[in-house]
Structure 1
Amino acid sequence: MQHCVVNVAKIVNMQSDNSLRDSVNSCDFINVDGMGVVWGARLLGQSIPERVAGVDLFWELIKWADCVGQPIFLLGAKQEVLSKAVSELSQQFPRLNIAGYHHGYFWENEEEVVAKIRESGATMLFVAITSPKKEVFINKWRRDLGVVFAMGVGGTFDIVAGKTKRAPIWMQRFGLEWFYRVIQEPRRMWKRYLVTNTKFLWLVAKELVQKRIKTNS
């Protein structure tokens, strides 16, 4: 089973990236990670009860894997970050079966990494690589990975390793986690959010106009 989360940036990028769009549409499970998508959907009359952050879902799945003994594989991030994340998970969940792990810089050796995942015996795969690479990778190799469940988790390993921090709970509740990320990494994030949020607002506005035209025709 292939799972992914969608946010404003991913929806915007799906408009021009066919590989990303096909990969997301091929997923068995999709959930919303981003209040912008929830608000946009509600404006369009679509019912999305709430956002489920990918990092929160990751922690719940790790707890479940620890309880039932499901072996997991961690793929992504820099080696030092990954090693720290593995150490932190092992300390928090002593029974957790980490069948294997590999850093996220392997694009010249994709087949070798896929074989490593398959031979590890893991049933759950978590891929902490930037979008659209993680979605395309999982979709491309989903039949060769040998896992039951594969999920892209973005920058989750950085959070687990303590490299980056999540926004305070109150900011998460008010949909301001994106603003906290801008504060943490202003040079890298401000342009991304300014451009993608503007494009997303345009997409929502265009859809609203089209709905009204259909309603009045």
Structure 2
Amino acid sequence: MRASFLGCPVDLLTMAETVDLACGAMRSRRRVQHVALNVAKLVNMRSDPVLAADVANSDVVGIDGMGILWGARALGLPAASRVAGVDLLAELLAACAQEGFKPYFLGATPAVLHQALQVACKRHPSLAFAGWHDGYFKREEENDVVRDIQTSGADCLFIGMPTPRKERFLAAHRDDLGVPFIMGVGGAFDVLAGTVRRAPVQLQKLGLEWLYRVYQEPGRMWWRYAKTNTVFAGVLAQAVIRHLIQHALDAPGAVPPGPSRIGG
């Protein structure tokens, strides 16, 4: 089910539904692009037209962050659960191993990428990769990377490059890659490789995974989250107030606003 949240499209899917959709795309060879929506991405869309277009043109916009999940529920959307990008990657790698689909990893440093590939293959011995390339290629090497993906026969492409580089890459080459399922995974390769730890489950449930990221990388993360979380809270508060007012006006017996008189 597709809905609109603060002007952004979101798909209210469970993890199982998202995995089924991805596997269906790989079986039929019909291209499906997935975007994981979190607070930072939603806020950055307001000032980055390339990012906004990438999200708007995606086939599936999953609810990645707890802030998005709670905000959607506050506005009356029937959002059942989040589908975290790092968890979705893990589920899809398991599905690839089971069904014989071949993934392609694009992104991260060579060392992190190599470690992520090793971990994935250790977890799933039957998993066969179509190919891989780190994310630190030069602009003049980009066409070679695209050709490698095209000729790899990959069933799914997981891109671990930062915004907006990932969005610019997809805007230029999405229709030519020939890969059925495409998904941006943010820093999931680092998590898979073990170079970045995920927050404890309890912190994830409390919506404080971002705080754990700040704890691990304060110099890089504190300003990003301070800025985006503050903007998101303000935008959401305004939307919730409008939603409550509209709900009150739509209630049976509500009196619509009109001209007022002072005195008799």
Scaled by the length of structure 1, what TM-score is found? 0.94
SS at match of 1:147: coil
Looking at structure 2, the residues matched to 135 and 34 of structure 1 have their Cα atoms a distance apart, in angstroms, of: 19
Letter in 2 for 1:177: E
SS at match of 1:157: helix
Which of 107, 118, 124 aligns to 1:76? It is: 107
Which residue in 2 is equivalent to 1:29? 60
The answer to whether the 8 Å contact 1:5/1:33 transfers is: yes
Superposed, which structure 2 residues align to 1:6-21 within 5 Å?
A: 6-21=37-52
Alignment of 1:115 with 2:150, yes or no, is: no
Superposed, which structure 2 residues align to 1:51-70 within 5 Å?
A: 51-70=82-101
Looking at structure 1, the residues matched to 138 and 73 of structure 2 have their Cα atoms a distance apart, in angstroms, of: 39
Letter in 2 for 1:5: A
Alignment of 1:126 with 2:167, yes or no, is: no
Deviates more, 1:98-107 or 1:6-15: 98-107
Q: Which has more radius of gyration?
A: 2
Letter in 1 for 2:124: F
For residues 133-179 of structure 1, the C-alpha deviation after alignment (integer angstroms, 9 at most, x for no partner) is 22332243121111000000011111111111111111112222111
The answer to whether the 8 Å contact 1:34/1:51 transfers is: yes
Identity level (%): 47
Which residue in 1 is equivalent to 2:189? 157
Looking at structure 2, the residues matched to 176 and 205 of structure 1 have their Cα atoms a distance apart, in angstroms, of: 19
Structure 2: tracts of 5 or more residues without a match: 1-31, 250-255, 258-264
Looking at structure 2, the residues matched to 136 and 32 of structure 1 have their Cα atoms a distance apart, in angstroms, of: 22
Looking at structure 2, the residues matched to 2 and 92 of structure 1 have their Cα atoms a distance apart, in angstroms, of: 25
Which residue in 1 is equivalent to 2:225? 193
Looking at structure 1, the residues matched to 35 and 217 of structure 2 have their Cα atoms a distance apart, in angstroms, of: 24
Looking at structure 2, the residues matched to 35 and 94 of structure 1 have their Cα atoms a distance apart, in angstroms, of: 33
- Quote the offset at 1:212 in angstroms: 5.5
Q: Provide the aligned C-alpha RMSD in A.
A: 1.6
Structure 1 residues 148, 197: closer, same or farther in 2, change over 3 A? same
SS at match of 1:30: strand
- Quote the offset at 1:213 in angstroms: 6.2
Which of 75, 97, 100 aligns to 1:44? It is: 75
Letter in 1 for 2:85: G
Scaled by the length of structure 2, what TM-score is found? 0.78
- Quote the offset at 1:210 in angstroms: 4.1
Letter in 2 for 1:194: A
Looking at structure 1, the residues matched to 238 and 169 of structure 2 have their Cα atoms a distance apart, in angstroms, of: 31
- Quote the offset at 1:70 in angstroms: 0.5
The answer to whether the 8 Å contact 1:66/1:93 transfers is: yes
Letter in 1 for 2:109: K
Letter in 2 for 1:93: H
Letter in 1 for 2:196: T
Which residue in 1 is equivalent to 2:207? 175
Which residue in 1 is equivalent to 2:122? 91
For residues 78-132 of structure 1, the C-alpha deviation after alignment (integer angstroms, 9 at most, x for no partner) is 0111111111112221211111100001241222111110111111000011123
User: How many residues get paired?
Assistant: 217
SS at match of 1:167: coil
Looking at structure 1, the residues matched to 204 and 46 of structure 2 have their Cα atoms a distance apart, in angstroms, of: 27
